[in-house]
Amino acid sequence: MKKTIVTLWGFLLSLGFAFPNVIDVDPDKTNWGDDPDRVGNGSALISCDDNSLYVYSEKSLPSLYVYIVDSRGIVKYADVQSVSSCGTLSVDISQLSEGDYTVYLYSGVNYLTASLLIEN
């Protein structure tokens, strides 16, 4: 049975893959109240199981470029998908052979990179 391990590069998540809205911030903290746009909480998250890679996003991603590249630089999967708000995109990885892969997600100027190791 395949064991699949995904390691996210946390520092890339902090680069703002969430596509935060540009808002004017009132410097007076007493007027902040319960503003939901105060916190950037819409980051994309990657997870997987033996057969699928999942991309979850709290924000809508209308043109998400997904690439899975092996350790030799050969693209094993390439597609443009959409992820709805609070939605999950599923990518079938059951046909990938054992090895090291890199997952690239691009949407506009924002990106996320993850390492994927598939072992039998």
Q: What is the CATH number of the domain that holds 97?
A: 2.60.40.3080
Residue 28 falls inside a structural domain: no
Q: What does the pLDDT look like over 81-98, one tens digit per residue?
A: 988 888 999 999 999 999
pLDDT for residue 85: 87
Residue 9 falls inside a structural domain: yes
For residues 20-39, give the mean pLDDT.
Answer: 52
In the predicted structure, residue 66 carries a pLDDT above the cut 90: yes
Total structural domains in the chain?
1
Q: Which domain holds residue 66?
A: 3-17+45-119
Residue 107 falls inside a structural domain: yes
Residue 7 falls inside a structural domain: yes
Task: Quote the tokens at residue 102.
Answer: 């890199």
Could you tell me which residues come within 8 angstroms of residue 70 by beta carbon, excluding any fewer than 6 positions away? 76, 99, 100, 101
Encode 58-72: b = buried (16+ Cβ within 10 Å), e = exposed: ebebeebebbbbbee
**78 residue type, one letter:** A
Q: What does the pLDDT look like over 108-118, one tens digit per residue?
A: 877 888 888 88
Q: Tell which wins on pLDDT, 91 or 27.
A: 91
To the nearest whole number, what is the mean pLDDT of the chain? 74
Residue 24 falls inside a structural domain: no
Please state, in angstroms and rounded to a whole number, the distance separating the CA atoms of residues 16 and 87. 18
Residue 61 falls inside a structural domain: yes
Residue 31 falls inside a structural domain: no
78: left (phi over 0), alpha (psi -120 to 50) or beta: beta
Could you tell me which residues come within 8 angstroms of residue 51 by beta carbon, excluding any fewer than 6 positions away? 92, 93, 94
Residue 94 falls inside a structural domain: yes
Tell me whether strands 110-119 and 99-107 are parallel, antiparallel or unpaired: antiparallel
CA 10 to mean position of chain CA atoms: 11
Beta bridge partners of 105: 66, 112
Per mean pLDDT, which range of 4-18, 26-40, 42-56 is the poorest? 4-18
